[in-house]
Amino acid sequence: MKCILVMIMVMTVLTLSAVTQDVTVKEKSITLEFENIHIKDIEFSDGNKIKIEHAKNADVTIVKKKQKVIIKADKSAKIELELPSGKTYTLIKDGGKIEFNESKVTIIENEKKVVEFRDGGLFVTDDNETVEISSEGIIVNDNDEHVEISSRGIIVESPDETKHITGFWGQLLGGAISFITKYSVGWIGNNPGFIVKQIINDDDYNGGVNMNFNFSSDGKKITQNFHETFQPKRGCKLNVDNRNGKIEIKSWEKDYIDISAILETKKSKKEFEKIKIEILDKDGCTIKTKTLEKNPKVSVQYEIKVPKSVKVSDINSSNGTILIIDCEGEMNLKTSNGRIEVFDSKGSFIANSSNGRVEFVHLNGKAEAYTSNGDIRVVRTPGFKKGVTSNGKITLEIDEKMKNDIYLSTSNGSIRISLDPSLDLNIDASTSNSRIDLNGIEVTSSKFSKNSLVGKINKGGKKITATTSNGSIKFYKLEK
């Protein structure tokens, strides 16, 4: 409460006695340099300009160069920045670089990514060792040892010993730690502003950079509700196109489509005039968030309920999570910044996220998952075909006969495959900078080394291809 009151007082002072300077930003990547500045608040906002607000009596100089904004002050000056979202910013700290945007923070030393906060977790890389602390628990991997404390239990594997405490006490302790990491480290991993603040702040301020970093202003959120219902025609295919916000779709027993949306802004009610929710057909099967003016600072959160007869088709959000529960259809799901999660559904599924996790659980039909920065998790989906991520781990659980060959690929992350050991499978696995562990699963191999495996389980059958550049590949027996 005290911190909130202090921030409100500071914001009030700045508002009453402040000068605002705008710097136009066209580049997608910007470097921020500060000289002798005391920064109190930094705020992300939509738009094409960096707004720099400071006290009237502060002598602040702002220099804009290509892909760089330099802010100088002869004396300590409290400054508030509003940074356009959808861009990447770089701060230089003690010879290292900190890259950040509204969804992740990456710390780089000697041109190597050493620490990353994303997807609600902390990921640390040091030579060939990786440490992951996330909502799933704590996982440590290096060339010789794997340690996991999660809801599965406590697992320690090394060349010298293998211990699996997966019974009641192991799962109880592991689950408790998973709970703690989910609501502590997970929270930090979803708040880049908090992380940058802790990295940059210097309690013994002596003229360097000191910031209180926030994504949003202290103003109250303003909301507006939208609700309509429609009677769908036979063969209706649901399509949703949203620009900024979550899309949740689930089936229900009623025979009509129910569309609810919450429009939200931190500016004023006039912002709502810059967008419009359009229903492009009479039966409510095509929904679009239309932009009427440039850069509306409004998010739209959809909750859509559909009868089983309605097939889900193209679902797009430029900045938000997509959640599908108990639906049917040939689904093409795409978001730029957000998770894609599909549960208990039938049909076919292609999920693309530029920056977010993809999760498939209990799906009936062909499924493919692609993301640039995020994990992929697939459970009880026998029609799964392909999972590709650049920066993230892949988790696959198979408890019944596969319907397709499966291809798994990640550049920076581990691959964990849990399967029923009675299945007939072919395996082709390789990693560049780690190892492959079978953990008691019997494989007849034609090629087997520390980081490469070609072989078959039982009689052989559908093929699992797994490849990673920086991470281990682990196989586990799936406990029924």
Q: How many residues does the chain have?
A: 480
| Mean pLDDT of the region 42-68 | 59
Least confident of 22-36, 429-443, 448-462: 22-36
Lowest mean pLDDT among 25-39, 147-161, 263-277: 25-39
Domain closes at, from 202, 218, 234: 218
Give the residue from 476, 471, 394 showing the smallest Cα distance to 439: 476
* pTM for the predicted model, two decimal places: 0.61
Q: Give the helix ranges, DSSP H, for 141-276.
A: 168-183, 185-189, 192-200
pLDDT value of position 120: 63
pLDDT for residue 7: 31
The verdict on 214 and 226 lying in the same domain is: no
In a domain, 148, yes or no: yes
The token duo for 411 is 């550049």
Q: How does residue 40 score in pLDDT terms, banded at 50, 70 and 90?
A: very low
pLDDT for the residue 216? 39
Q: What is the pLDDT of residue 28?
A: 57
Which helix (H) or strand (E) element contains residue 7? helix 2-16
User: What residues make up the domain containing 472?
Assistant: 339-480
In this predicted model, what pLDDT tens digit does every residue of 161-171 receive, in sequence order? Answer: 666 655 555 55
**Which sign, positive or negative, has the C-alpha torsion 230, 236, 240, 246?**
positive
pLDDT of residue 374: 85
| Residue 111 lies inside a defined structural domain of this protein | no
d(CA 184, CA 285): 40
Confidence label for 262 from pLDDT (cuts 50, 70 and 90):
very high
Is pLDDT at 178 greater than 70 in this prediction? no
Same domain, 265 and 158: no
Query: 362 and 480: one domain?
Result: yes
Contact 286, 279 (CB under 8 A): yes
Same domain, 427 and 377: yes
| CB proximity list for 471: less than 8 A, separation 6 or greater | 130, 141, 393, 410, 412, 413, 414, 415, 431, 433, 434
Q: Is residue 468 over pLDDT 50?
A: yes
Say whether both 44 and 73 belong to one domain: yes
The answer to whether residue 411 sits within a structural domain is yes
Task: Determine the average pLDDT of the residues in 314-337.
Answer: 92
pLDDT score at 469: 85
Q: Which residues contact 235 (CB under 8 A, 6 or more apart)?
A: none
pLDDT score for 17: 45
Q: Is position 113 within any domain?
A: no
User: What does each C-alpha distance from 357 to 56, 116, 145, 158, 314 come to in angstroms?
Assistant: 45, 15, 26, 29, 19
Same domain, 241 and 323: yes
C-alpha–C-alpha distance, residues 460 and 455, integer Å: 8
Co-location of 61 and 175 in the same domain = no
Segment 183-195, tens digit of pLDDT: 445 444 455 665 6
End-to-end CA distance of the chain: 48
- 354 lies in the same domain as 480: yes
Residue 15 pLDDT: 38
* pLDDT, tens only, 56-111: 666 777 777 666 666 776 665 555 555 555 567 776 655 667 777 766 777 777 76
Is residue 315 domain-shared with residue 361, that is, in the same domain?
no
Q: Is the pLDDT of residue 308 over 80?
A: yes
Both structure tokens of 321:
């999570």
Hey, what are 237's tokens? Answer: 């295919």
pLDDT at 439 exceeding the cut of 50: yes
User: 394 is written with which tokens?
Assistant: 């892949």
306 belongs to a structural domain: yes
204 band by pLDDT with thresholds 50, 70 and 90: very low
The chain-wide mean pLDDT, for the chain, equals 76
- pLDDT over 50 at 131, yes or no: yes
* Number of domains within the chain: 4
Distance CA 450, CA 433 (A): 10
Q: Within a domain: residue 454?
A: yes
Q: Specify the amino acid at residue 433.
A: N
User: Is the per-residue pLDDT at 419 higher than 60?
Assistant: yes
304 confidence band (pLDDT: 50, 70, 90): very high
